[in-house]
Amino acid sequence: MKHILVATDGSTSADRAVDYAAQLAKDSGANLTVVNVIGGYGLPGELFRRFTAAQQVWLDELLETLSADTLRHAQDRVRSVGVGSMRLESRRGDVAETILEIAGETDADAIVVGKRGSGRISGALLGSVSQKLVSLASRVVIVVP
């Protein structure tokens, strides 16, 4: 394995995925990319259209700050495993599609993600990033419980 991509949203499940990916990268000598996708917050487009320009700027800044904090947290976890070099990436878009896009750009051998704690029925009704990745990816997807 030469390149591993791990996606994080800062959740406990994502932290486990980051830890797993970091250990895998360390053990295999692979490059590691840590990704946070700004999107998927469930806010309807109509709500955004009602925001004033100032409110939209504030929300954009807030989301960028949250993404940077999430990546710094993941970076600390990766370093604690002993991996010193990694690439950090923050993007906007549909979460699963953006992860797949970055995996393609980086030629990742594997994508590592956490599994949400919701039950089967909830996951089936709402869909999930991990399920979408497993269904659509043309590369290995490791879902960490």
CA distances from 50 to 43, 56, 59, 108, 145 (A): 12, 9, 13, 39, 39
Per residue in 52-108, pLDDT (tens digit) is 778 877 888 888 999 999 999 999 999 999 998 999 999 998 899 999 999 999 999
In the chain the domains, ranked by start, together with CATH numbers, are: 3-144 (3.40.50.620)
pTM of the entire predicted model: 0.85
Cross-strand bridge partners of residue 112: 6, 142
Tokens 């997807």 locate to 141
Cross-strand bridge partners of residue 35: 7, 89
Ranges of H-type helices in the chain: 12-28, 45-50, 53-81, 95-106, 120-126, 129-136
pLDDT of residue 138: 95
